[in-house]
Structure 1
Amino acid sequence: MKFAEHLRESAVPEWSDKYIDYKRGKKKLKSCTKSILASKVLINNISAIGGNSSDSQSARWKNSYTHIQRHFIQEFVQDWVIGRELEKCNDFYLWQLRQCMRRYAILEEQIRIYEMQQSNQSYGAVQDYVQYPIVVPPTRTSHSLRARAVRQLQQLDLMPSLPNCINLKDLLGHRREHGPPSVIHGETFTPVPVKLTPSQIKQQLSDALIEYYLLIQLVKNYRELNVTGFRKIVKKFDKTCGTTELPNFMEYAKAHSPMFQHAEANVHLLTQQIQDSNLIKRPSISTDASKDATDPLFTWEQQVTHWYTEVLSTNAKDRKHKTEKIRNLSLQYSLNEQKIHKFNTSILQIFVAGSASGAGLTLVAYTLYKGFLAPVSSKVHTYLLPLWGGWYMVYLMVYLLLLACFIWHRTHVNYRFIMFGEVHSRHGAVLFNNDFSTTNIPLLLYCASVFLLPFSILGAISFHYEVLTPWAIAWPICAAVLFLWPSIKASHFLALPYWDKLRQTRRWLIVTAIRLLCSGMFPVQFGDFFLGDIVNSLTYTMADIALFFCVYSDTPMSNCGSSHSKVMGILSCIPSYWRMMQCFRRYADSGDWFPHLLNGFKYGMGVAFNASLCAYRLSHTDTRRGVFVALAAINGTVSAIWDIIMDWSLLQPNSHNWLLRDDLYLAGRRNWKNGSYSRRRKLVYYFAMIWDVMIRFEWIVYAVAPSTIQQNAITSFAMAFFEVLRRFVWVIFRVENEHVANVHLFKVSGEISLPYPTTIPLESDTEEAIDEDYALADIDYPEEPTRAYPGAKSGRTTSFIDNVSKVIPWAHARDFQRPRSYSAADANSHESDESESEMESMV
């Protein structure tokens, strides 16, 4: 594999702009090839004129640089490699070291408190140190059924909580004389400390150490890739220009760049570690470099490994298991290409998925053919097509989401981190982290197809015999059995292949669905608002739930349609109501009216729109038609503007791309000379905006079409189909926009709560603003690592329009709430002078 491809595949997506621009360097060398060749021809001509020159004369020509060589050394090596790329990479590397140092200090404090508890010290002493109790001594009540249920809900993230602005003790009239400091409004899942068991404390510490270990591996990989890239690009320059600048460059880099110094120190330390681990130790030559070798990442990695494998281990078996886990997570033990494809199961999964999907979609096409050609008064048209069509919309959404995942994968949008919190390189190898076989797309497609096949068979039978029973009832039972299959202990001999790997997916779906049903009772996570928006496009499916129960009730079939059922209208309002409650909860947690109250108003208009449509369908009067048109126009306009400007961050006035934004990952790579995108690839954004506006106003069909067309099942199915397609486009650009935010914030690691409060801040003052309250009015696109977490005020007076133009592109970052990485980090904290001096000595 060529290094350029290796760099592209191994680079962390959120840090892509901070790596050496190796491809640009190759382009620059290629662009000056003609001048270099002309210089070589001139040298050869001079050598030929000189006739039979002596060896000393040839050596003199080789050791002396021509004017064109000196020009390119200044332009390429001095100005571009050292003056631009090395400075950029080195600054970012030092910024990452500062982040790692702060996290290390916090983890060190957490482990120190944990060891104090383990050493059987009095609980009061620990309480004095941490300022307020986090862990309570075990009592009989902790073993009660209620306590176990509370702990289980906390582990599943299903424990309801009050908003941050409401304090239960204050409501009951109790004042806290001593307790935790008030939590800064905005961004925390656990606004008050919770009682944790020893096992929960150990689990939180273990998760935090693993997360930090992965972050260290990413920084190490960043350092090694860039050091290798600089060496290779200068070597390629020497080969192209006929110079010998690589030794001079390496000497300069090792003397002035901490990134190169630490990389060299890491080699010496690893070599020494390998020699110390050998049974027969070989005498090593001690050099000044090896004596003074200091690599902070190596030191932190060794210490974290010790904490994880020794301090948090309960016995030898647990220690062995943790040692093996930490070894597998290390980038030094990454899989190679041969091993990746030797155990590759994606080919088989795609084959089974393709076969099952082909058969299932063929049967679905047959049912739609029957439904579209059936008479309006027939059972097929009256309730079979709407009921099965509602399920079709769900399956269509699932398949489109998998297609969206593939699109994100191809465009290097780190959707797995955004949606599931997976750290880069946690799954898959370094060199092949973006290999399709390392993703879960084939597995999910396989599972979706296995669900689709029995469903399509039951649907085809139902349409063929024009009966609903028992096929419509058999399908939910079949789906429940398949969904719960891995939990049935007696089914091991009947277990489907790869079905056990769905455990995390099933849990995520169940937990997120419960949180969505109880919107307002939980802080809003990414999955909550994401699933809520998807369900908003499935109002057709939601409304058909009423039709299902109406068919099996004593109600005449003529009164089960949308023109007679109020329940269908109520159900169609519920998804917008859920999202509205989530917006209100976000406002209650953050205290920021923008954008949460405006977003809540938008979904309130969605509730009004669906309610007015139901009223208009029940009675086709001019008055209700006018109310419906007015509400629908407002809802469509507000929603379309919100989609394009707020959710997608498009239509930015100062963007380099007309009516778009600066970063367009779906538009492919930038031009290496001017940094512009291909005009043809940018068209997808313009088409997406037009498509979103068109489908947002598809309600016009209900306003202008005759009642026979409005109440037609085919019309409703077609409009639901187009709405699902619109949501598919929305999802792609919404996740891409979230990735853009992560790129500008250099955010690559997850955020795990720690059991104890800390007096050490996670970020510096300018960085803490974005972490705590996002400081959206002050956000600017970062150019240097010191602006990675933008929020520092520039000192100049900005107009209202300038502030608005900065707020709007980042408003989407507040749709959901980030979990705090470290508990009580806001508690009267200040940065330690000892930590700063330690960093200075390391660097």
Structure 2
Amino acid sequence: MVPEWREAYMNYNYLKTLLKQILIFHRRQTSSHVNSLPPSKAASLKRRTSLFRAFSGLTNRYGNSSPKKDKEDEVILVSAMQTVDEEQGEDGQSYQTTFLRSPEEGGELELVFFRGLDHEFNKVVHFYKTKVDEVVKQAEELSEQMDALIALRIKVNNRVNPRAAAVSPFINETNTGSYPLDAIHEEQQEKRSHDARGYKMASLEVLKHVKLNATPKTPRSTIKNVFKSLNLDLRFNKNEVRDAQEKLKQAFIEFHQKLRFLQNYAFLNQLALSKIMKKHDKITSRNASDAYLKMVEDSYLSQSDEVAKLIGRVESAFVKHFCNGNRNQGMNTLRPKAKREKHRLTFFVGCFFGFSLALVVAIIASVRARDLLKSEGRTQYMNTIFPLYSLFGFLVLHMLMYAGNVYFWTRYRINYSFIFGFKPHTELGFLQVLLLSFGLSVLTLAAALSNLEMELDPTTKSYKVVTELLPLALLIVVLLIIVCPFDIFYRANRFFFLVCLYHCICAPLYSVTLPDFFLADQLTSQVQLLRNLQFYVCYYGWGDFKKRNAETCNNSDVYDVFFILIAVVPYWIRLVQCIRRLCEERDSTQAQNGFKYFSTIAAVVTRALYSKKKGITLKIIAASTSGVATVFSTYWDIVMDWGLLCRNSENPWLRDKLILPNKSIYFIAMVLNVILRLAWMQTVLDFHETPSVHRNALIAIFASLEIIRRGIWNFFRLENEHLNNVGKFRAVKSVPLPFSYEDGYKNL
């Protein structure tokens, strides 16, 4: 199934439930009749009934090869009726089955089954016809877009004389001059001019009636759009040809995927109809499937060939115009092969997990053996080395939460790959994410264990430089892996992450997409990680690592200022992203969302100031701003991002559509969200001054709770997004087309 079209498929389970009721009725009737017979006759009757059950056939898909029945043996009559779609005002066709054996005992149950079957079949046919009409219109639009692209290529390249240059690249193998998509309306073929060789002529007049859909997507174009109106007229340069071609290429890929979805949709529903009718015949010992499946074969669902023709034309056009005639390259792009899970992936995940556990045990044993928790160097270690390694701990925890998200998204058929916009079959499964997580944890724990074994140099009473550089070396290795240009360590995903991160840094100069603001939301839960990065710069940049002392960082006013600014950056990114979306989409909810992040910025700043300067006034201000931000953010999480707390919903205080079977999980998640959002109270109530636990350890614990809260938020946020796509039957990305035609203009 296409997950977003789930409601449009035939409800097979519902029809099986109706058949089960018929089966129970027949078993009761048979058992009561058999019980009234002597034992010998009852056994003989059971054998005879099993011998005379309907045979499903060996070769025919729908079982239409069975002998013709007399009219008196007919079970159903299927008739087609003309209907009018009240919403669109169009004529349509619906099918109705008349059950001829309803007066028989138990016939009312079969009558209910056939009514349900008709309803499901008519739903499928209506949806399929609606989608076919959509793709036909999209094909016509893509044809017009290709006309403009070809004319623009000719104008820019200008390699031959104008008349010869007007030869369109849309030429089939027999030089009949048919366009790959225009064959939908072949009557227009005669209206197009051909040269002496039979080639289609591409008119440059098209360029006088089209404009480029120039949307400000880059920082440069955004800034230009602010200071002057953007010129939408064609300037006929190679950059525009390349950009237009890239947009059309992506549009063809998405269009081809939609066509394949439709083709599979028709096949699956026909298969389901065949199987459910065979089940009916087996249970009732009737032969009604022949008549019904004959109607299915004659219906629009089976007879329509627009989708198959369009698939062939799209593939031909894509190979010719976007792959230089290389069919293998074109088909690999349009029909990418599914990923194959390898056993070594599971093996290495298990290995790294085992290594991580062993290193954790070794660290605990080393700490207890040396009694490091009560040693003089405990405070020094917690103030310097612990923040350096806790950065990787936050990163590993976030990756583990994401692995859990991916596992449950996959289990409950939430199409996270489509929602995030990953290239087909490049998304990471939960095993791949676990592999990266445990691999990083092994490196981190091994380096941390090495640092525990390092002691002061007896002569200089200072720590060795090489040993103190271990955390920095580990950080450099991780950064080099992330930016590595070679096709290793899931390059497509690393590049996708870097692009989204760059868009976040440059906000609001880029148009905001879901992956961009989703990543920015993740950064808001990693404030402590960003502060640890700041500590790296200070600790190694100012040379404190040579003596394992962070006095320079702790006593610097510049460090304190950046300590506040670093915490504000993620929320500032989300604020300006909301402003950008408000300007583009004119959606008032973005203004409210922006105010949420503004209130959070105020809370973060006042809490940071209180943690540095103390004072009862700052404490009251920090508590007040944090309380307001928490209430607003909690409401937004549960109501807007998760779509819950709907009073008049089918599921009280939840929403009409739920994916998880256990409703209590939603209420538990809401309660946990509220509790974990109160982690800021550890700053205001001075929990970090607990003598038994070091301040940095407490900060790390509360930072980890926020990461866990974000992981829970991620699942329900994407669940809500997925259900919105399901409600709109949105299964492929909407790609903006490069050209727009004047009103009333038609291609020559």
TM-score (norm 2): 0.75
SS of residue matched to 2:536: helix
Residue matched to 1:99: 134
User: How far apart, CA to CA, are the structure 2 residues paired with 1:456 and 1:475?
Assistant: 11
Q: 1:692 aligns with which of 670, 673, 676?
A: 673
User: How far apart, CA to CA, are the structure 2 residues paired with 1:631 and 1:94?
Assistant: 55
User: How far apart, CA to CA, are the structure 1 residues paired with 2:350 and 2:675?
Assistant: 33
Query: Is the 1:364–1:459 Cα contact (8 Å) retained in structure 2?
Result: no
User: How far apart, CA to CA, are the structure 2 residues paired with 1:611 and 1:203?
Assistant: 44
SS of residue matched to 2:453: helix
Residue matched to 1:603: 597
| 1:460 has 2:449 as partner | yes
Query: Is the 1:231–1:246 Cα contact (8 Å) retained in structure 2?
Result: yes
Change in CA separation of 1:733 and 1:324 when aligned onto 2, cut-off 3 Å: closer
Residue matched to 1:582: 577
Query: Is the 2:22–2:106 Cα contact (8 Å) retained in structure 1?
Result: no
User: How far apart, CA to CA, are the structure 1 residues paired with 2:277 and 2:622?
Assistant: 68
| 1:524 has 2:569 as partner | no
User: How far apart, CA to CA, are the structure 1 residues paired with 2:264 and 2:555?
Assistant: 59
Unaligned runs of 5+ in 1: 1-10, 53-58, 136-153, 181-191, 263-294, 429-437, 488-498, 668-680, 760-827, 835-843
| 1:303 has 2:313 as partner | yes
| Paired amino acid for 1:479 | V
| Percent identity over paired residues | 21
User: How far apart, CA to CA, are the structure 2 residues paired with 1:361 and 1:512?
Assistant: 33
After TM superposition, list the pairs within 5 Å mapping 1:420-431 onto structure 2. Answer: 420-422=421-423, 426-427=424-425
User: How far apart, CA to CA, are the structure 2 residues paired with 1:195 and 1:588?
Assistant: 30
Q: 1:30 aligns with which of 20, 24, 28?
A: 20
After TM superposition, list the pairs within 5 Å mapping 1:709-720 onto structure 2. Answer: 709=690, 712-720=695-703
Change in CA separation of 1:230 and 1:697 when aligned onto 2, cut-off 3 Å: same
Count of residue pairs the alignment pairs up: 626
After TM superposition, list the pairs within 5 Å mapping 1:195-234 onto structure 2. Answer: 196-234=239-277
| Paired amino acid for 2:307 | L
Q: 2:116 aligns with which of 39, 62, 80?
A: 80
| 1:259 has 2:304 as partner | no
Query: Is the 1:644–1:651 Cα contact (8 Å) retained in structure 2?
Result: yes
User: How far apart, CA to CA, are the structure 2 residues paired with 1:169 and 1:511?
Assistant: 27
| 1:737 has 2:737 as partner | no
Query: Is the 1:387–1:544 Cα contact (8 Å) retained in structure 2?
Result: yes
Residue matched to 1:723: 706
| Paired amino acid for 1:104 | A
| Distance apart, 1:757 and its partner CA | 2.3
User: How far apart, CA to CA, are the structure 1 residues paired with 2:536 and 2:332?
Assistant: 52
Change in CA separation of 1:167 and 1:626 when aligned onto 2, cut-off 3 Å: closer
Residue matched to 1:471: 470
Query: Is the 2:148–2:206 Cα contact (8 Å) retained in structure 1?
Result: no
| Distance apart, 1:216 and its partner CA | 0.7
Q: 1:131 aligns with which of 210, 228, 231?
A: 210
| 1:169 has 2:163 as partner | no
User: How far apart, CA to CA, are the structure 2 residues paired with 1:193 and 1:16?
Assistant: 45
| Distance apart, 1:741 and its partner CA | 0.6
Residue matched to 2:406: 405
User: How far apart, CA to CA, are the structure 1 residues paired with 2:631 and 2:599?
Assistant: 11
Write the deviation string for residues 657-687 of structure 1: whole angstroms up to 9, x where unpaired.
12111111123xxxxxxxxxxxxx1111111
Write the deviation string for residues 679-713 of structure 1: whole angstroms up to 9, x where unpaired.
xx111111110000001112223333466239811
Residue matched to 1:619: 613
User: How far apart, CA to CA, are the structure 1 residues paired with 2:330 and 2:380?
Assistant: 61
Q: 1:247 aligns with which of 266, 274, 290?
A: 290
Q: 2:563 aligns with which of 556, 561, 568?
A: 568
Residue matched to 1:415: 416
630-639 or 20-29, which moves further after superposition? Answer: 20-29
| Distance apart, 1:95 and its partner CA | 1.7
Residue matched to 1:504: 492
User: How far apart, CA to CA, are the structure 2 residues paired with 1:453 and 1:236?
Assistant: 55
SS of residue matched to 1:754: coil
User: How far apart, CA to CA, are the structure 2 residues paired with 1:562 and 1:699?
Assistant: 24
Computing the radius of gyration over CA atoms, which structure comes out larger, 1 or 2? 2
Write the deviation string for residues 584-630 of structure 1: whole angstroms up to 9, x where unpaired.
111122233x2111111111111111111111111221101110110
518-527 or 454-463, which moves further after superposition? Answer: 454-463
Query: Is the 1:374–1:380 Cα contact (8 Å) retained in structure 2?
Result: no
Residue matched to 1:321: 329
User: How far apart, CA to CA, are the structure 1 residues paired with 2:739 and 2:566?
Assistant: 44
User: How far apart, CA to CA, are the structure 1 residues paired with 2:716 and 2:374?
Assistant: 37
User: How far apart, CA to CA, are the structure 2 residues paired with 1:707 and 1:443?
Assistant: 37
Residue matched to 2:104: 67
Residue matched to 1:664: 658
| Distance apart, 1:641 and its partner CA | 0.8
Query: Is the 2:74–2:288 Cα contact (8 Å) retained in structure 1?
Result: no
| Paired amino acid for 1:169 | K
Change in CA separation of 1:319 and 1:222 when aligned onto 2, cut-off 3 Å: closer
Residue matched to 1:753: 736
SS of residue matched to 1:615: helix
Change in CA separation of 1:375 and 1:409 when aligned onto 2, cut-off 3 Å: farther
User: How far apart, CA to CA, are the structure 1 residues paired with 2:137 and 2:678?
Assistant: 51
TM-score (norm 1): 0.67
| Paired amino acid for 1:210 | I
Change in CA separation of 1:751 and 1:259 when aligned onto 2, cut-off 3 Å: same
Query: Is the 1:160–1:522 Cα contact (8 Å) retained in structure 2?
Result: no
Write the deviation string for residues 301-348 of structure 1: whole angstroms up to 9, x where unpaired.
122122122344535xx245325655x45xxxx88xxxx8xx641x21
Write the deviation string for residues 156-202 of structure 1: whole angstroms up to 9, x where unpaired.
x75544289x55424xxx9x6x849xxxxxxxxxxx99973544444
Write the deviation string for residues 245-284 of structure 1: whole angstroms up to 9, x where unpaired.
11221233345x411333xxxxxxxxxxxxxxxxxxxxxx
| Distance apart, 1:753 and its partner CA | 3.3
Write the deviation string for residues 273-296 of structure 1: whole angstroms up to 9, x where unpaired.
xxxxxxxxxxxxxxxxxxxxxx11
User: How far apart, CA to CA, are the structure 1 residues paired with 2:220 and 2:493?
Assistant: 22
